[in-house]
Amino acid sequence: MEGIDFGQNMQPVQSVAIIGAGNMGSGIAQKTAQEEFDVQMVDREAQWVERGQTIISDFLAEAVERRIFSPEQVEQIKGRITGVVGTENTASDTDLVIEAVFEDFDIKSAVFNTLNEVCNENTILASNTSSLSVNELALASGRPDRFVGLHFFYHPAKNRLVEVIPGEDSSEDTIARTVQYCRGLGKVVILCKDRPGFVVNRFFVPWLNEACLLLQEGVASAAAIDAVAMKAFRIGLGPFALMNLTGPPIALHSTDYLAEQLETPRYVGAENLREMVEAGNQWEIGDDTECSEDAAQEIRTRLLGQVFAVAGQIVDEEICSLEDVDRGAKVGLRWARGPFELANRLGIDDAKA
């Protein structure tokens, strides 16, 4: 996935539209405006556009309190964001339109059908998807040569990672202009193949599910599993705390999707995770971090082993480079070390065991 041609005649992206003003869409709009792009934030109803603007205002108010931006800079940022009601009202001459609606193929396809009609032939369409097939979305868009997948990580105004996923028919110009836009946002870009889970979620989601299986089997408490994981991976939050932060339904949806797409029964959502989602609850973690050394060793072995195995598959399938796998873990997940760095530190023989 190397060798992007940033030709001298390439027209840079200057105007951007974000379809969907939820937490992710408003975050992408905010970051885009912060980097001095003109951006439209589009949603179906005025109330959703206004909600997105409120989310942005709240984040920027916090940034003023922390002296990241001055009040004058905040007004300039908000002034670059235009609220638009209705996808059909997206400006026809927009350079790049990023769809950030619910993770449902039919909903996304309907958005792209509208965009393909209202946008001119030079507009690039992109989907902010974490799991759906970019190639299938590209075909549904009606302009597969000017289509690309983008996977921003939450919160997009803070998290520096973005995965760029070209479709089979994405033109070199489409890829180059999109990558240049992402780098203009200050993002670390991983260019990867269209495979289920892309890069980071491919190893991170099974890692979460393995923690659920450890709890389900009674190996240790959720607090103990989190504590062992935090020490083994040198991270600030363990798998259960992370699931509570992002929402257990996202973890369940993601792991079931990978199980189906990769035909890997091991990835099917653990029963305790499924019951948690059905009940609308979050994990009760508690403070009991004690467990036996044997239990701690099993937790370390299974969590590390899951990551090592999947990271190896990613490289074997040429989804991206070994270095990009590590980069994704460190930038996107804020791990101190990536999977291959962890394996090297442990020793290859022990990592394979």
Between CA 76 and CA 80 the distance in angstroms is 7
- What does the angle CA 145 – CA 326 – CA 350 come to, to the nearest 5 degrees? 135
Q: What is the pLDDT of residue 5?
A: 61
Q: Which residues pair with 150 in a beta bridge?
A: 128, 164
| CA-based nearest residue to 325, from 197, 231, 227 | 197
Q: Which domains does the chain have, with CATH numbers?
A: 15-191 (3.40.50.720), 200-352 (1.10.1040.50)
Per-residue pLDDT of the chain (353 residues; tens, 9 = 90+): 555 666 667 899 999 999 999 999 999 999 999 999 999 999 999 999 999 999 999 999 999 999 999 999 999 999 999 999 999 999 999 999 999 999 889 999 999 999 999 999 999 999 999 889 999 999 999 999 999 999 999 899 999 999 999 999 999 999 999 999 999 999 999 999 999 999 999 999 999 999 999 999 999 999 999 999 999 999 999 999 999 988 899 899 999 999 999 999 989 999 999 999 999 999 999 999 999 999 999 999 999 999 999 999 999 999 999 999 999 999 999 999 999 999 999 876 555 55
Q: What pLDDT is recorded for position 197?
A: 94
Q: What is the model's pLDDT at position 353? A: 52
Q: What does the pLDDT read at residue 280?
A: 96
- The DSSP line for 1-50 is -------TTPPPP-EEEEE--SHHHHHHHHHHHHTT-EEEEEESSHHHHH
Q: How far apart are CA 350 and CA 30, in angstroms?
A: 45
Report the distance separating Cα 326 and Cα 284, nearest Å: 31
Query: Tokens at residue 127, please?
Result: 């989907």
pLDDT (0 to 100) of residue 130 = 86
8 A C-beta contact, residue 98 and residue 28: yes
Q: What is the pLDDT of residue 343?
A: 93
Beta bridge partners of 165: 149
Catalytic residue among 31, 108, 143, 151: 151
- Alpha-carbon distance 179 to 190, whole Å? 9
d(CA 272, CA 278): 10
Is 151 noted as a catalytic residue in this protein?
Answer: yes
